[in-house]
């Protein structure tokens, strides 16, 4: 999820803008969904200024982790401080012109690997194919955002095969999220994304993640968060897999404690 704070200046020319979206508002979403943890991801609106993201991370406390955007020249001491705060990754947005480039991502990767962090890539299928072996060669773990923006369209088959190869390499993760970004079929079922989601989930069930993408900054008409969560059993039909995606997998990637007295996962019965 993302936090937006109007008090933090936007970078000039930011392509995606959004009004205030606060920790308190997201806690209401969590109560409605039955979730207890979250990962705060730096929006491109703020470039390298992680003020809003880190403030939200502090407000959420131990129940949260963060993915930030940093200058590749950030000193080791600053990285260690961010790790202590709960940061576990760096976002590379190649769709909405984020602050970091491919070259900077490759420069950062060895340093992130040493921390156990990952690089989170938001990129198009075309950019994924153009990257060739660059993603597979990253020394740190790689997370592909939003189903790698794939649908069941024939034009995406080659990119889906490329993602399968990345998953076979053992260090690639995929977020099963935001089907509204690419689906032409639309809600409630986003049927043209179903096959992709099932293919990826079957290929690497231990490295699938779910994300709300709240507050859905690209969408003038906001999707229903509960309806998005209700897609998960259809995308991950194997018994126990939705809970794995919601609990065990993020615990592994983001370093959440495995043992917890809180509810393990929301009920996944259809509404």
268, part of any domain:
no
Domain housing 94: 23-254
What was the pLDDT predicted at 269?
A: 44
269, part of any domain:
no
Closest alpha carbon to 152 in 176, 174, 185, 110: 185
Q: How many domains does the chain have?
A: 1
Q: What is the CATH number of the domain that holds 138?
A: 3.20.20.140
- Distance from C-alpha of 16 to C-alpha of 22, rounded to nearest angstrom: 17
Strands (E), 205-270: 208-210
263, part of any domain:
no
C-beta atoms surrounding 48 within 10 Å: 14
Any residues with CB less than 8 A from the CB of 207 and at least 6 apart, and which? 167, 172, 173, 174, 249, 253
- Distance from C-alpha of 164 to C-alpha of 20, rounded to nearest angstrom: 37
Q: What is the pLDDT along the chain (271 residues), one digit of tens a residue?
A: 999 999 999 999 888 899 999 999 999 999 999 999 999 999 999 999 999 999 999 999 999 999 999 999 999 999 999 999 999 999 999 998 779 999 999 999 999 999 999 999 999 999 999 998 999 999 999 999 999 999 999 999 999 999 999 999 999 999 999 999 999 999 999 999 999 999 999 999 999 999 999 999 999 999 999 999 999 999 999 999 999 999 999 999 999 987 544 444 444 443 3
What was the pLDDT predicted at 261?
A: 44
What was the pLDDT predicted at 271?
A: 39
198, part of any domain:
yes
113, part of any domain:
yes
7, part of any domain:
no
Q: 151 — phi, psi (to 5°)?
A: -130, 180
CB of 120 within 8 A of CB of 145? yes
What was the pLDDT predicted at 259?
A: 58
Indicate the angle between helix axes 51-60 and 23-33, nearest 10 degrees.
50
Q: Where are the alpha helices (DSSP H) in 184-231?
A: 191-203, 225-229
182, part of any domain:
yes
What was the pLDDT predicted at 258?
A: 75
3-state secondary structure 150-162: CCCCHHHHHHHHH
53, part of any domain:
yes
- Give this prediction's pTM: 0.92
CB of 245 within 8 A of CB of 209? yes
């Amino acid at each position: 999820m993302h936090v937006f704070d109007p008090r933090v200046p936007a970078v000039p020319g930011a392509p995606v803008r959004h009004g205030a979206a606060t920790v308190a508002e997201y806690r209401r979403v969590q109560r409605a969904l039955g979730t207890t943890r979250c990962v705060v991801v730096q929006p491109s609106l703020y470039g390298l200024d992680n003020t809003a993201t880190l403030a939200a991370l502090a407000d959420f406390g131990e129940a949260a982790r963060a993915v930030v955007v940093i200058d590749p020249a950030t000193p080791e001491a600053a990285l260690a401080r961010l790790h202590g705060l709960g940061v576990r990754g760096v976002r590379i947005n190649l769709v909405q012109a984020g602050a970091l480039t491919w070259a900077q991502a490759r420069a950062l990767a060895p340093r992130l690997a040493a921390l156990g962090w990952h690089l989170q890539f938001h990129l198009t299928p075309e950019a994924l194919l153009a990257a060739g072996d660059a993603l597979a060669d990253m020394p740190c773990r790689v997370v592909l955002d939003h189903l790698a923006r794939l649908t069941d369209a024939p034009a995406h088959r080659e990119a889906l095969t490329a993602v399968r190869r990345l998953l076979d390499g053992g260090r690639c993760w995929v977020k099963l999220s935001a089907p509204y970004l690419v689906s032409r079929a639309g809600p409630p079922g986003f049927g043209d994304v179903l096959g992709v989601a099932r293919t990826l989930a079957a290929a690497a069930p231990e490295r699938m993640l779910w994300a709300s993408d709240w507050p859905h900054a690209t969408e003038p008409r906001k999707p229903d968060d509960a309806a998005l969560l209700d897609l998960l059993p259809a995308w991950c039909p194997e018994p126990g897999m939705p809970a794995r995606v919601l609990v065990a997998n993020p615990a592994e990637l983001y370093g959440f404690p495995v043992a917890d007295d809180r509810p393990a996962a929301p009920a996944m019965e259809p509404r």
